[in-house]
């Protein structure tokens, strides 16, 4: 049964009636450009086939009743004009935030029943929170029968929900990739002006996502601390953001540790993103692989957002892939998924190496997804 069918059935079971509609928003994997979105940098994410579905129907009154099908049927009931952020932050925080934010734009968020379900593994670094926010936005717009918002406006509304209602000072990459991305394409996003370019992946390449078995979180302070360190570096350099800095400027500034390393990662990662786009357009898989490996090393050593279990998985995958491609951690860090780009024909070899040599720290079975242009999307092996 597909995610949409499961969500539709879950709505019927929870509320005793069929929904009027079901919407979907994908997750995303970031090929390169990590922790540069909130520094006005360049990023290269792509939407993936797993994501979040929301079934909706009108209901009497002006309140919202929602059920989280993946969370044992947990419910939230509130009136958007009276609600406060949920504490501690969880799925209800995003739901309430999106309802209030859309109400400010004249979209009537009340008088609704919602059933929410997702296929993104929690804590995997594939942006389940942004997927949830975009899916909720699409459901509330569909229920109001109003004109759709632009992908940019949807992304900005979803980012506000993260900032103001969940306490995560994230950049705009995840929301834009989910709201504006196209299947089979990476999305080159300029996080300064939100200009986008769809970069088609060669049909003979595959994007492979492997769960490390280490769940991660962002609201534990690590993410916000890295952002503060980057902002401190930009302020000291007297630039609007690290997008305007250079390696030479960072070296001359003689920042204390770890600020210098944080800034060095951001500046070098933006340049690696440019190189990656050129490599994809040229079909230069060897070059792309080298850039992906360098990105992981920078995230591990300069930005310090990887963990040993993820490093070991990256090393195992890179050894199995060889020079034609590469692997790196993806997402905010501290666990989650590893992504790789390689020839589609080489995927069985990579899978065999993982089946023989990889053991997830949490004891979970190997979870490998294949995405890309021409692949069988969302294939869990």
Structure-token pair, residue 77: 């009931």
- Cα 313 to its chain centre, rounded Å, is 20
Please give the Cα distance from 117 to 6 (Å, whole number).
8
Residues taking part in catalysis: 174
Count the Cβ atoms, other than its own, within 10 Å of residue 17: 11
Closest CA to 262 of 98, 53, 36: 36
Please give the Cα distance from 177 to 155 (Å, whole number).
9
φ/ψ (deg, to 5) at 206: -125, 145
Please give the Cα distance from 127 to 123 (Å, whole number).
9
The four Cα atoms 83, 88, 91, 97 give a dihedral, to 10 degrees, of 40
Sign (positive/negative) of CA torsion 87, 143, 154, 27? positive
- Cα 346 to its chain centre, rounded Å, is 26
């Amino acid at each position: 049964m597909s995610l949409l069918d499961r969500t539709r059935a879950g709505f019927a079971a929870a509320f005793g009636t069929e929904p009027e509609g079901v919407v979907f928003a994908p997750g995303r994997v970031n090929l390169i450009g990590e922790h540069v979105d909130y520094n006005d940098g360049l990023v290269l994410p792509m939407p993936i086939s797993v994501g979040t579905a929301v079934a909706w129907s009108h209901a009497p009154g002006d309140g919202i009743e929602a059920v989280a099908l993946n969370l044992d049927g947990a419910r939230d009931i509130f009136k958007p004009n009276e609600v406060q952020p949920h504490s501690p932050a969880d799925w209800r925080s995003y739901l309430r935030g999106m309802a209030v934010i859309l109400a400010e734009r004249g979209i009537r968020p009340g008088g609704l029943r919602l059933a929410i379900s997702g296929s993104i593994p929690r804590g995997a670094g594939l942006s389940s929170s942004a997927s949830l926010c975009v899916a909720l936005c699409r459901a509330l717009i569909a229920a109001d029968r109003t004109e759709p918002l632009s992908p940019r406006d949807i992304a900005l509304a979803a980012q506000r929900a993260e900032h103001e209602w969940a306490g995560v000072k994230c950049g705009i990459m995840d929301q834009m990739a989910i709201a504006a991305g196209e299947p089979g394409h990476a999305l080159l996003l300029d996080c300064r002006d939100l200009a986008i370019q769809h970069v088609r992946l060669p049909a003979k390449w595959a994007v492979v996502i492997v769960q490390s078995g280490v769940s991660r979180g962002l609201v534990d302070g690590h993410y916000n601390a890295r952002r503060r360190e980057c902002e401190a570096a930009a302020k000291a350099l007297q630039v609007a953001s690290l997008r305007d800095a250079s390696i030479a400027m960072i070296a001359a500034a003689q920042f204390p540790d770890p600020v210098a390393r944080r800034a060095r990662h951001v500046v070098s990662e933006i340049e690696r993103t440019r190189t990656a786009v050129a490599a994809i357009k040229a079909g230069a898989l060897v070059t792309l692989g080298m850039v992906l490996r360098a990105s992981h090393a920078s995230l591990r050593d300069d930005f310090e957002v990887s963990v040993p279990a993820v490093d070991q998985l990256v090393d195992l995958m890179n050894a199995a892939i060889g020079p034609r491609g590469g692997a790196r951690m993806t997402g905010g860090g501290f666990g989650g998924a590893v992504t790789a780009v390689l020839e589609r024909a080489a995927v069985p070899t990579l899978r065999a190496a993982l089946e023989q040599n990889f053991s997830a720290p949490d004891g979970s079975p190997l979870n490998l997804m294949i995405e890309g242009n021409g692949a069988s999307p969302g294939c869990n092996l």
